[in-house]
Amino acid sequence: MVKIGPAFGDYIKLEKSQKHSENSSRNYLIRSYVLPVILIIGVVLIIARLFYLQIIEGNNYLKLSESNRTKTVIIHAPRGIIFDRQGVPLVFNVPGFREVSDGTSLNDKTILIDKNEALNLLSEGKTNLEVDSLRNYPYRDITSHVLGYIGQISEEELASKEFANYKGGDLIGKIGIEREYESFLKGANGKEMIEVDSQGKEIRKLGLTDPIPGQNIMLTLDIGLQKAVFAAAKDIKKGAVIVSSLKGEILALLSKPSFDSNLFTMGDEYSASEDSVYKSTAQILLDTENQPLLNRAISGTYPPGSTFKMVVAAAGLEDKIIDKNFTIEDTGILRIGNFSFSNWYFTQYGKTDGEVNVVKAIQRSNDIFFYKLAGMVGVDNLSYFAEKFGLGKKLGIDLTGETGGAVPTEEWKKKIIGEDWYLGDTYHYGIGQGFLLTTPLQVNAWTQAIANEGTLYRPHLLLNAKFSALNKNFLNSENASLIRDGMIEACFPGGVAWPLFDFKVKNASLKIDGKNILEASLATTSADFKDYRKIVIACKTGTAQHGGETTMPHAWITLFAPAYNPQIIITVLSEDSGEGSNVAAPIAKKILEEWFKR
């Protein structure tokens, strides 16, 4: 047997050794590359992370770092002060606070609080209080609908372009002048940067940007007259009063029921006066029947009743359908088929006014005359003239919420009501009833246009504002004089505005001119009767039916005085209260007394 071990052993061993050496070398080579690669990747990742943190996100982390050691306190800019035409402040900024968690989200509720309440919260450890000025309205209910109030911005408001620079939690004007002139009154907030320690305690102040107060504005409003209007209208539950100048300046504007604006701005600790109808904001917001937030002077729409007869007379005179010599026989009642249209004098007293011309028709507020005249003018032509007097559209007063009312036409009735226009509709239209709807502001405006002999000025509240005339020269002086004569007669015995018969005031400084200002009669019982003056007034009352037969009518009166040289135009509306002569005229009389006693 041959042994092969010695012959092949070394060769076999060497071959195996060489193979093992090659594998070991290869593994070593791989291991020698892995570690550097891992190190390189780790270094690259660290550098990339550092680049991201330092370069890309550096500013954000710097801000976070700064915010941990600093805080920014907003310094709220005080709103501008609102003054009346004499420079009397109608609103004050008083020290207070606001509580808000962040102010950037609409879910954050801004709560206004006074100093005493704020001190209690601070003692409890509250830190989300910001110094602010609370809006205080010293005349409370008297100026509520004119001035309005401020409140937290809503989601809808924040989404509008007007409030693009606002944020959630900001306070803005909600209604009235506060809303209309928000951009003037707002101002620009300041801020203070404070360094704090890890516990949030103040270390030092780092910087301060002062707030810029809002602009002050002056109104055409006369606060003395406004107070007198409020007192005169104390018995009006729902209604409005407007007093304006010949050029459209609003001297007084009242809507009832009114409310205390301070309830929205002075914090929960504020208490309304005993005379205020509403004691809390909840009562104001929940009274859906009386709607105290509705500004009835500019937003309420009503049938104007007989006050509209002045516009009907103007349409007939300007179209030369009638003249000063034109007369109509008052028959007491008109019959058309099965329908009858009566005059108030015949309905109440069974009497007629005989032959009636345009002056007597206004003096006596004769329905028969205006039924027939409206029929002669025609519905569409009557509406054309009504629009010249500012009806059917907004007049553009600088208050939010104005409405335009409704001026009917044959086409309008067909489209809106779905029915044809009938002669009876025209008759109702001729006495300010039916489909016609106007605001108290519009009634005041067309009275102004008659006093101006055919010039209609835009009503406004901002003093020295350049509001141009809305319409000019649409009523000639002769026709305007005829309408004025009828209005003057309405305020004299024989007319219908009995509370204004022989209107007198005690004011010896009024110069007697024999036309506007007359000597008072010797029948004046006062021993100093020589100091009394008789004022000539041009007026028109209205009693507007609405609702059912059991519903009380709206009471109207609109007037200007003195008749031949007007200083003021007064319009009074009292909802659901009775006849214009009995209800609205006594209120207007008190306002006239206040004005001419001055």
- 128 compared with 255, residue with greater pLDDT: 255
Say what the pLDDT of residue 11 is.
43
Tell me how many degrees the CA angle 317-321-325 measures, rounded to the nearest 5: 70
160-178 per-position pLDDT tens digit: 988 988 888 888 999 999 9
Tell me how many degrees the CA angle 425-430-436 measures, rounded to the nearest 5: 65
Q: Decide if pLDDT at 112 tops 70.
A: yes
- Least confident residue range of 187-191, 292-296, 455-459, 554-558: 187-191
pTM of the model: 0.84
Q: Decide if pLDDT at 201 tops 80.
A: no
Going by C-beta distance under 8 Å and a sequence separation of 6 or more, which residues neighbour residue 433?
A: 303, 305, 544, 545
- Mind listing the domains of the chain with CATH numbers? 67-218 (3.90.1310.10), 296-597 (3.40.710.10)
Say what the pLDDT of residue 538 is.
98
Rounded mean pLDDT of the chain? 88
511-530 per-position pLDDT tens digit: 999 999 999 876 555 667 78
354-374 per-position pLDDT tens digit: 999 999 999 999 999 999 999
Burial 19-46 (b: 16+ CB within 10 A, else e): eeeeeeeeeeeeeeeeeeeeeeeeeeee
337-355 per-position pLDDT tens digit: 889 999 999 999 999 999 9
Say what the pLDDT of residue 111 is.
76
Q: Decide if pLDDT at 101 tops 50.
A: yes
Mean pLDDT in residue range 366-386: 97
415-448 per-position pLDDT tens digit: 999 999 999 999 999 999 999 999 999 999 999 9
464-473 per-position pLDDT tens digit: 887 789 999 9
Mean pLDDT in residue range 476-483: 96
DSSP states of 349-411 = HS----EE-HHHHHHHT-HHHHHHHHHHH-HHHHHHHHHHTTTTS----SSTT----B---HH
Say what the pLDDT of residue 4 is.
46
| pLDDT class of 12 with cuts at 50, 70, 90 | very low
DSSP states of 48-77 = HHHHIIIIISHHHHHHHHHHHHEEEEEEPP
Structure tokens at 447: 């009275």
